[in-house]
Structure 1
């Protein structure tokens, strides 16, 4: 019996690439020649998806037994590469999909979608990222079963999975305050709402929560807030800017681990030590956070679980559940070596 590994060996690509090509993943960056070669090899080997093999052995199969599911990624390839938050959600969807032995999962990027054609034949849709109300309306006019991940859709109509960013930001800020710091800085990126042909910058609750808490404490200094894009390079550039400005904060809340890693590089180049000179708390807990130098104290977001839950909710809706559900995935402060009490500095 032919396996994905057999096809991958003949095509000289990874098993993951084969899986994504056979599942019509339009977000995969491979050449058309490679894509066609994989399809030709699979056809030549008479490859049958796992779920299809199971279905052949069953009777009375319904749509819910093997639904055709679409995943719409609002972010561009560059955004997804710069911020693993979104790719990790997608990984969670794919893991749950594989666990269930589902045979048909199509993945699209919002900006490259043919709105009418690509949604035809879909039994359900998972949307990753924040999209405009107009885009939501266009999608829901064509699709009955939709789950939104990291987006505040109408909770009376749709299932959604998201994080309480206010609570998560409070965890980071409270941790720094508990260590004795009062002069805090913030480095973050722009949060965007996406639509089919563009995007618009919207409120980022990490930033607004930081500003609110600093204002409440009488410590808000706008010159200590630095905003760019959610990438490692921007974290580096913004921290360099903060250093050049002078009167550097004692500690920073940084909106993503990737930005924090870049920021720590800028501090190191300036001869400043983390945490002896500057403490840092970041956000996400990507794999690299525990391997950075020093390892990052960060607010962990269970992004893969967000994807897994999203797929489970969608299957339930396809199977007949009518009541829409909102799932708020918790966060957790992970203490590592990028913070220390103020009295231990030096």
Structure 2
């Protein structure tokens, strides 16, 4: 079986429309679980190419193939990263292949055969945090850029290029304003503290700023968990957990917009007013936050820029392999909306 498939080939093989297949590969909504699983099961080689008809043709001769290996999440944040990586690589004459890491891989994450065969000249990895996987890719001596890293950033710093969103600054500024300007003293955190470096920054910074003002981030005010299964009912879980709290905190910091949206919904169903009773802050600045009532205050990690800079850094690494490895923190910005009263 060959390693790559186009949208046309997949649609013909499965008797699906190209639009449906494209939605699955680009993680767009509007596809049933049955159809999604059908396409994923067909892609047994775990390497996917986008149909050339869906992208602007490259005018110059193709220089080589780049693999983007990422954990599959149906999020706008991921889509922006992928789209901008593709744009930069194609404009520089490179073909992009997608290596999708699905939720059912608990160990021995597969690395595309083409990487071992020597047909790949560079790798970008996003949202995959498995030490054996990282060690294997680094050992292959193929230029690689990793988007984000482990909560302990020293595992691989100095051994490969790492790019991530800078999360501490916006969290610090927001928490300080809540305390100084609004007199808030009760805070909670929602999410996985140790999923990756950027989420660990969010948790750690919130704790630090509270300690600076002699406050404590209490466990009973937090909803802490490992990354949820994609079929997990977040809303039901958040509503049940919040309902059991003696009193919700005055401010919930959420590690993602997905969590912030569901927390906001759960709070309102339980009779709490936002932001009069509880303020809610998300992270990622996805468009869905603007469609909520109230709209969600969030932090823009500039996923489009992360995609562009990761592709640019990979090209730079391929052209200058002798350069010192870089650990880049890309600025994130506060986006104030109606879920807070700042």
TM range (shorter): 0.7 to 0.9
Q: Which whole-Å CA distance do the structure 2 matches of 1:48 and 1:228 have between them?
A: 39
Aligned to 1:212: 208
Counterpart-to-counterpart distance in 1, 2:295 and 2:199: 29
Q: 1:17 aligns with which of 13, 22, 37?
A: 22
Residue in structure 2 matched with residue 31 of structure 1 by the alignment:
39
Q: Provide the residue aligned with 1:188 in structure 2.
A: 191
Shift of 1:106: 3.7
**What SS is found at the alignment partner of 2:317?**
helix
Q: What's the secondary structure of 1:54's corresponding residue?
A: coil
- Separation (CA, whole Å) in 2 of partners of 1:156 and 1:184: 36
In 2, Cα distance between equivalents of 1:33 and 1:114: 15
Shift of 1:188: 1.8
Structure 1 residue 8, shift from structure 2 partner? 10
Q: Is the 8 Å Cα contact of residues 230 and 259 (structure 1) preserved in structure 2?
A: no
Residue matched to 2:68: 71
* 1:119 and 2:115 correspond: yes
> Structure 2, unaligned stretches of length 5 or more?
1-5, 27-35
Given the two structures, how large is their TM-score scaled by the length of structure 1? 0.73
- Once the two structures are TM-superposed, the CA of residue 7 in structure 1 deviates from its matched residue by 9.0
Quote the offset at 1:49 in angstroms: 8.9
Q: 1:296 — aligned with what? A: 296
Aligned partner of 1:170 in structure 2 is 172
Structure number with bigger Rg: 1
Structural mapping, 1:118-267, within 5 Å: 118-120=114-116, 121-151=119-149, 152=153, 154-177=156-179, 178-192=181-195, 204-220=200-216, 221-229=218-226, 233-234=233-234, 237-267=237-267
Number of matched residues? 304
| Cα distance change of structure 1 residues 214 and 35 upon mapping to structure 2, 3 Å threshold | closer
Q: Is the 8 A contact 2:284 2:298 kept in 1?
A: yes
Deviation at 1:130, TM superposition (A): 4.9
Evaluate the alpha carbon distance shift between residue 202 and residue 334 of structure 1 in structure 2; reply closer, same or farther with a 3 A threshold. closer
Mapped to 2, the partners of 1:141 and 1:227 lie a distance apart of 34
Instruction: Choose between structure 1 and 2: higher helix proportion.
Output: 1
SS at match of 2:60: helix
For the pair 1:50 / 2:57, whether they are aligned, the reply is: yes
Tell me the alpha carbon deviations over residues 141-172 of structure 1, each in whole angstroms, 9 at most, x when there is no partner: 11320111112464434222112232242233
Q: 1:285 to 1:18 in 2, by over 3 A?
A: closer
Measured on the aligned residues, the alpha-carbon RMSD in Å equals 3.9
Matched residues in 2 for 1:105 and 1:328: separation?
26
Cα distance in structure 2, aligned partners of 1:271 and 1:311:
46
- Alignment partner, residue 330 of structure 2: 329
TM-score of the two chains, using structure 2 as the length reference: 0.74
CA positional deviation for 1:126? 0.6
Distance 2:204 2:55 in 1: 50
Q: How many angstroms apart in 2 are the aligned matches of 1:187 and 1:18?
A: 29
SS at match of 2:169: helix
